[in-house]
Amino acid sequence: MPLTGKNILIGVTGGISIYKTLDVISALNKLGANVKVMMTESAAEFVSPMTFEAMSKNPVYTSLFDKKNAWRIPHISLSKEADLIAIIPATANIIGKIAGGIADDIVSTTVVAATSPVMIAPAMNTNMYHNPVTQRNIETLKSLGYLFITPTSGVLACGDIGDGKLASVEAIVEAIKGQLLYPEKDLLGKKILVTAGPTQEAIDPVRYITNHSSGKMGYAIAKAALLRGAEVTLVSGPVNLTVPSGAEVINITSAKEMYDAVMENAENADIIIKAAAVADYRPENIAENKIKKGGELSIPLSQNPDIVKSLGEKFGGEKVLVGFCMETEDLIENASKKLKSKNLDFIVANSLNEEGAGFKGDTNIVTIIDKSGNKTDIPLSQKEDIANKILDRIK
């Protein structure tokens, strides 16, 4: 599990979105992390410490003055053993206290004593969030190296609509994971364009030609690149996946739409990774009405524009171009041919014939081939791990 051996200390403060912190703790536990919780007195008014104790499977700290374990000095021992401290949710009050150097409860005092990175996930009424004092405190903390998980916009618990909604559980977990696994942000400043998923080529208003691509490989690459600090644009065919938090997503349906979206955004990218399974052909004409049953039917096809080839012609040698190649026979030979003919820097070859590889699952088996013909074999691994190995190779 990716977070095995990591000690995460969650500081919980008195905001209405506190219930979501329980889901964050559960997700971090599932990733293998050891999670401890400290709560302010106000937080304990919202949810009982017992609930956090049961979720984190660790004692919960609610007071600076824990008489039973006074010899441990909780705020010092907690801060020392944490690989990361995350305040979820963070009230306007705790943000103000940290910015002012105040240490008068277990959470604020532990943060003052911290030597590990501190992440702050604010959540509050939109007027409280936009209050210039709150904004000044956030800017002060950012300038001192505190990391913020930006709240989203939406309907708030008080009924107001606006900024200040706690970031999604998934976004918070991804941010924590990214900080723990890639603290150095080795792709910071890089702009990466990723394509993912299948395309759908309409036959008539109700039918289309497509393939089995789930989009999981492309989405895993987008997620991994974001965690490593890259700016990611994801051009996605129709898939059933959660959008990676922080990515700019352009949803398309057909190969022609994907071609347009990629060409429009390629100029701005440093690295282009084409993990989408684009249909090579589309019906020559789209029937205006649903085609009726009866008699023989043949559907003439036209070739779709070759996105990878166009990218190679226009940007080969200028940007890092990575293609994918899925084959059912002569995998390495066909992949090497595609690498050369399309002027790519890397091709990631995967075979449909191997168990655990291919479109639908969470795992894959791939070979990365570079321009000089060097091959890197990646055995059966999670798509997330393969994504990082591809990014390592590009780097």
Ligand X SMILES: Cc1cc2nc3c(=O)[nH]c(=O)nc-3n(C[C@H](O)[C@H](O)[C@H](O)COP(=O)(O)O)c2cc1C
For residue 109, state whether it binds ligand X (rule: CB under 6 A): no
Smallest distance from the beta carbon of 135 to ligand X, in angstroms? 13
Q: Does 13 bind ligand X (CB under 6 A)?
A: yes
Nearer to ligand X, 156 or 320 (CB): 156
Residue found under tokens 């919960």: 60
Pairing of strands 34-39, 7-12: parallel
92 binds ligand X (CB under 6 A): yes
> Minimum distance from CB of 258 to ligand X (Å)?
41
Note the Cα 238 to chain centre separation in Å.
Answer: 18
CB 344 within 8 A of CB 337: no
Spatial contact of 332 and 321, defined as CB atoms under 8 Å apart: no
Binding range to ligand X, per CB under 6 A, among 12-20, 278-286, 358-366, 375-383 = 12-20
CB nearer to ligand X: pick between 38 and 250: 38
Please identify, using beta-carbon distances, which residue of 166 and 171 lies nearer to ligand X: 166
CB of 131 to ligand X, least distance (A): 10
Quick one: CA dihedral 160, 161, 166, 168, positive or negative?
Answer: positive
Q: Which two tokens stand for residue 230?
A: 């890259």
347 near ligand X, judged by CB under 6 A = no
Q: Which stretch binds ligand X (CB under 6 A): 86-94, 113-121, 268-276, 324-332?
A: 86-94
Smallest distance from the beta carbon of 59 to ligand X, in angstroms?
19
We find the least distance from the C-beta atom of residue 365 to ligand X, in angstroms, to be: 47
358 φ, ψ (degrees, to nearest 5): 115, -155
- Position among 21, 29, 34, 93 found at the interface with ligand X (CB under 6 A): 93
Helices (H), the chain: 19-30, 41-46, 49-56, 74-81, 92-99, 106-112, 126-130, 132-143, 169-181, 216-227, 255-266, 307-315, 331-341, 383-394
> Counting contacts by CB under 6 A, is residue 124 touching ligand X?
yes
Interatomic CA distance for residues 348 and 375, integer angstroms: 10
What tokens appear for 96 in the block?
């103000």
110 or 195: CB nearest ligand X? 110
- State yes or no: is 325 an active-site residue: no
Burial class (CB in 10 A: 0-12, 13-18, 19+), 328: exposed
Residues 147-186 that bind ligand X (CB under 6 A): none
Alpha-carbon span 158 to 160, nearest angstrom: 6
CB of 196 to ligand X, least distance (A): 35
End-to-end Cα, the chain, rounded Å: 25
Nearest to 29 by CA among 46, 50, 53, 64: 53
Beta carbon nearer to ligand X, 156 or 221: 156
Judged by beta carbon, residue 17 or residue 137, the one nearer ligand X is 17
Tell me how far, at minimum, the Cβ of 40 lies from ligand X, in Å: 3
Question: Rounded to whole angstroms, how far apart are CA atoms 360 and 362?
Answer: 7
Is 78 an interacting residue with respect to ligand X (CB under 6 A)? no
Closer to ligand X by Cβ: residue 124 or 331:
124
Residues 38-67 close enough to bind ligand X by CB under 6 A: 40, 42-43
Q: Which two tokens stand for residue 103?
A: 């240490």
Structure tokens at 288: 């205006």
Among the listed ranges 91-99, 183-191, 276-284, 310-318, the one in contact with ligand X (CB under 6 A) is: 91-99
**123 lies in the site for ligand X, by CB under 6 A:** yes
Interacting residues with ligand X between 205 and 234 (CB under 6 A) = none
**Which residue in 158, 161, 352, 380 is the catalytic one?**
158
The tokens describing 48, both together, are 């009982």
Instruction: Say how many residues touch ligand X, by CB under 6 A.
Output: 15
**What is the rounded distance in angstroms from the CA atom of residue 308 to the CA atom of residue 338?**
9
Interface residue with ligand X, options 21, 34, 79, 91 (CB under 6 A): 91
Contacting positions for ligand X (CB under 6 A): 13-17, 40, 42-43, 91-94, 123-124, 128
Q: Which residues are known catalytic residues?
A: 158
